[in-house]
Structure 1
Amino acid sequence: MRVVIIGGGVPAAVHAWTAVRRGHTVTQLDDGAPIAGSGALRAGSVAAADLARAAHALWLWRELGGRVPGVGFRLSGSITVARTPAELAVAEAAAGAADAAEREFTLLEPERARALEPALRGPLLAGLHCGADAVLTPQQAVPALRAHLSGTGRYTARGALARALTETPDGVLIRADDGSALAADIALLCPSPGRDALARELTGAGPVPRVRAQRLRTGPLERRPDAILADGDQFRHRPGYPREPVARLTAEQAQTAAAAEFGMHVLAVPRLDGGLTLGATGEPAPFPAELAEPAAEHLLAVAGELLDTELTVRGRWAEVATAVESEPWRAPSGRILVLGSAGPDATLLAPAAAEAAADDLGL
């Protein structure tokens, strides 16, 4: 079948990959929005209801990464560093929970944590290791996927924005902002935050809550970690940790002013260029126009303490994500599917979402 995919970024590229792998011809319309994401695939700290889906998505990422090495997929694991007694209590509870094996949680004493990740040089009481977590570099993964798909002869990418979709007796007619029109059997919309006007027009849905993440890119490090590193504030922001010790952590241990104001936890994600992507903030809309200097200073200070090194900034950006998940919408004819949001784990869950969408559309 002729499939048109509308949207960019990692999820849209993975949907294109899935459709081409199933034997269909794909045209992708992408308006060239910046490719976002830290590249951290945190399968081990999702909500309990999402564990099976996350594990399946990670298995699909491993298969995809094996076929397209340029996406930069690495099963890196992660270490969340506990530096206070309250953080240690959460780490101990997580490692002792009934689902710890499923999440691949292991509590490491400081010496074991540093042996596993020699770049981890700062003070710590323990490290919660998660073997289920992985990494890719979104800005590299999308071009690599597109180049691979182009080599199949059944994929074309066009720099255009879809303005209207009309169902016809034979399928769907897509009109683009460059004046062109495309005929397809199936149209799949992958709306991104702030670029969802067409999706809302089709579905009648209102805008979804959004958050803004500020990120930094460092220069190459002499001792770059291979694992994802996180500070103890991650326990406050990911749903996969036991509730009672997290509640005690929140009540007993105040965050720094910047971390509290911008909804922050520090995440250091290794990049293939030898540096790190640092994040993340979770500012709710409306966002101020300027990027917050205290947030950047907090990211650099905490990451520098974890690694016992001074970090240099080579790039800085902000990206907007949906704060919650939403269900996909399908036209009664079954020819148009508007994807819902996968929330903060959109990149991790992209292969599983693409598989489910292809099954739903009969691809």
Structure 2
Amino acid sequence: MNIVVVGGGIVGTMHAFFAVQRGFRVTHIEREDEARGASVRNFGLVWISGRAPGGDLELALRARHLWEKVAADVPDVGFRPNGSLTVARTSAEVAVLEEVARAPEADRRGVRLLDRREAQRVNPALHGEFSAALHCVQDGAVEPRKAVRAIQTWLRRRETYTWLPGREVVAVSDHAATDDRGETHRGDRVVLTTGAWHRGMLARHTAGVRRVRLQMLETEPYGETLTTSFADGDSLRYYPAFDVPALKGLGAQALIARQHHMQLLVVQRLDGSLTIGDTHAYDEPFDFDLDEQPYAHLLATAEQILGRRLPPVRRRWAGVYSQLRPGASGLYHRTTVAPGVVLVTGPGGRGMTCSPAIAEETLAP
């Protein structure tokens, strides 16, 4: 079977990886020289703790299992099952975590509620302000700036894989995609994984998705090892797993956090640096500036929880990803564009987490 994959981000690269593993011939097309979008501008989290019960959680758990398989073949993706702590600093936040820890799916999700001392035994680097934490042993992390490139390096060693960067697909037809050099690539299946690109020939197929802009940063190496990733109480407002009755008792969010739809996530990279974020903007056109106020809030909150000063910021960036519109059904956007041609996009902030399982569903017989 011949597969044509359009899009060199993590979702497209996972489609190519699993197709090659199944013995298919793959032509992989990317308009840039390499992935430049949300696939390399994210936390690198394989995030189980925040997923909604049901299909959302099951997709993430399947992806978590598949990430281990990917890492066995491609160690340079940097996968590690480091788990996470979602910390609570108020009694209202503790009440939310208590409900989540008692939920029927808690064991499957791998979560339990810890008091402060127990949480510090799990992650001794948390010296600051918090009273309890939800520990999720299923959460993991990969290296977002390396993972896509590492998988593609593995793929390019296979005779059944052809990598065609610097080509933009401008038209599709039955079982075929035509690039801007006038070459037509035919396959038994054509999979469009175009990320946050919703315009041009795809405009009429992307009404069910929207784009989301985020801001993040990375510090210089931190002088202490974080044995887990961690999140703050604002993440309770963002992830569907925390949509429990006690959530109504959280009260008002800080103004700056509310204005920028913020939560704190902190992940330590393999070189010791910290990736910290993030914000969410939903109304286009997006601002082209990086706003310093939310960065200041995120850094201050991280320091309050860690209980020590952060090292200097090494880099700041913005990214844009594709997400289902509120009220849309499904976990991501999948639609047939032409016979034998399917568009797969819109996983939202789950792209890095769920990309292996999304690819598996696309390639299912």
Shared fold, TM over 0.5? yes
Q: C-alpha displacement at 1:182, in angstroms?
A: 2.6
**Is the CA contact (8 Å cut-off) linking 1:189 and 1:199 kept in structure 2?**
no
| Counterpart for residue 362 of structure 2 | 357
Secondary structure of the 1:339 match is: strand
For 1:197, the equivalent position in structure 2 comes to 200
Correspondence 1:43 to 2:44: no
CA distance in 1, matches of 2:337, 2:299: 47
Is the 8 Å Cα contact of residues 84 and 139 (structure 2) preserved in structure 1?
yes
Q: Contact 1:24–1:154 at 8 Å: present in 2 too?
A: yes
Matching residue's letter, 1:163: V
Q: Does 1:300 align with 2:299?
A: yes
AA of the residue aligned to 1:266: L
Pair 266,66 (structure 1): closer, same or farther in 2 beyond 3 Å: same
Q: Report what 1:266 is aligned to.
A: 264
Deviation at 1:332, TM superposition (A): 6.2
1:338 aligns with 2:343: yes
Deviation (angstroms), 1:195: 4.9
Relative to structure 1, the CA distance from residue 65 to residue 23 in structure 2 (aligned partners, 3 Å threshold; closer, same or farther) is same
Aligned position for 2:151: 145
Q: Is the contact made by 1:233 and 1:265 (CA closer than 8 Å) also made in structure 2?
A: yes
Question: Does residue 1:165 correspond to 2:172, yes or no?
Answer: yes
Gaps of 5+ in 2: 325-330
Residue type of the partner of 1:141?
A
Distance between the aligned counterparts of 2:144 and 2:199, measured in 1? 21
Higher deviation after alignment, 338-347 or 104-113: 338-347
Q: Deviations over 1:295-347 (max 9, x none)?
A: 111111111222223222111111112232443112563x2111142222122
Corresponding residue number in structure 2 for 1:113: 119
Residue 2 of structure 1 corresponds to: 2
TM-score normalised by structure 2 residue count? 0.91
Determine whether 1:279 maps to 2:284. no
How much does 1:103 deviate? 1.5
Distance of aligned partners of 1:332 and 1:293 in 2 relative to their CA distance in 1, 3 Å threshold: closer
CA distance in 2, matches of 1:12, 1:304: 37
> Aligned residues, how many?
350
The residue number in structure 1 matching 2:188 is 185
Can you list the C-alpha shifts for 1:272-294, whole angstroms capped at 9, x where unaligned?
A: 12111111111112222211111
Instruction: State the match for 2:327 in structure 1.
Output: none
- 2:99 maps to 93
| Paired letter, 2:148 | V
After TM superposition, list the pairs within 5 Å mapping 1:188-337 onto structure 2. 188-200=191-203, 203=205, 205-206=206-207, 208-249=209-250, 252=251, 254-286=252-284, 287-311=286-310, 312-324=312-324, 325-330=331-336, 333=339, 335-337=340-342
Q: Percent identity?
A: 33
Q: Could you tell me which residue of structure 2 aligns to residue 25 of structure 1?
A: 25
CA distance in 2, matches of 1:99, 1:242: 14
User: Which amino acid is the alignment partner of residue 23 of structure 2?
Assistant: G
**Shift in alpha-carbon separation, 1:130–1:196, aligned structure 2, 3 A:** farther
RMSD: 1.7
Secondary structure of the corresponding residue to residue 353 of structure 1: helix
| TM-score (ref. length: structure 1) | 0.91
